[in-house]
Amino acid sequence: MRPASRFPVWDNHFHLDPAGRGKEAVKDFERAGGTHLLLVHKPYHDLPPGDLDRTREALERTVRMAGWVREAGVVPFLALAPHPAEFTEMLRSGLSLDEAAATYEASLRLAAAVAQDAGAVALGEIGRPHYPVEPAVWERANALMDLGLALCRDHGLAAILHTESATPEVFADLAVHVRKAGLPFDKAVKHYSAPLVDPALNHGLLPSVIVGKDQAERAIAQGTRFLMETDYMDDPRRPGGVLGPKTVPRRTFELLEKGLANESQMRVVHAENPRKAYGVDVAV
């Protein structure tokens, strides 16, 4: 039975896949106490990057899957963008640096247009490689990230940032890019973040904490300015990866049961912070 709650429970990073569990995964989230989630676009294996028609088909697939979320009794919000890894995947497929960058740029601009039409609240995931690349590739990837941030600013969207692992140094560097783009820091969401909630550590960006073992406890001990995520992949080749769909509600209610947080604090994390980041009303 779903736990009773007087506040929403929001998973800030949740993927679905037609080849995965789909609606059943969302039902697991709902039965555990989840009420809202950010459905984030991801690459689909049958729609490789490099063609704008395939990109549009992939984005529209994610938009359609928001209906699965509603049917499972959960409120969906959308983040749409070509994944940053698609840029380097195009390089591996044989495109030149200029060709891959031009194609990825066109895909970003298309995603911004589809996001507007679909009522999405964010471009995501955008960012840069989380693995070593040549300096020229790194420089171009940062330029593409800057374009994504500018598109977020121009379209009134948040940015879901996929980058290398979150450290204070990485947050400091990302803050430079966000400031240059003129995007409000509350709308720059660092996906898959360590529990770096102290502003001295995150440099003003909004951490979306991956709530594995002890991470939620470490986050709430520093404050309430963070989001909680599973990065659930819905990938049949990786069952349960990254974290299972029940994890955010379970961690939320564990914090309450252990006396490590109160409902007022959880309301900030699950309702007030999404409102600031995405401009949405979150209520149960």
pLDDT at residue 15, rounded to an integer: 98
CA separation, residue 4 to residues 23, 50, 275 (Å): 22, 46, 22
Cα–Cα distance for residue pair 254/249, rounded to 1 Å: 8
Burial class (CB in 10 A: 0-12, 13-18, 19+), 146: middle
For domain 10-278, the CATH class is: alpha beta
Cα–Cα distance for residue pair 237/15, rounded to 1 Å: 14
Which residues are CB-contacts of 239 (< 8 A; sequence separation ≥ 6)?
A: none
Per-residue 3-state assignment (H helix, E strand, C coil) for 118-147: HCCCEEEEEECCCCCCCHHHHHHHHHHHHH
pLDDT at residue 237, rounded to an integer: 86
Q: How many residues make up the chain in this entry?
A: 284
pTM of the model: 0.97
Tell me the β-bridge partners of 38: 77
For each successive 10 residues of the chain (284 residues), what is the average pLDDT?
A: 73 97 97 98 94 97 98 98 97 97 98 98 98 98 98 98 98 98 98 98 98 97 98 89 96 98 98 98 87
Cα–Cα distance for residue pair 141/85, rounded to 1 Å: 10
pLDDT at residue 1, rounded to an integer: 43
135-155 vs 168-181: helix crossing angle, rounded to 10: 50
What is the sign of the dihedral through the CA atoms of 112, 114, 117 and 123?
Answer: negative
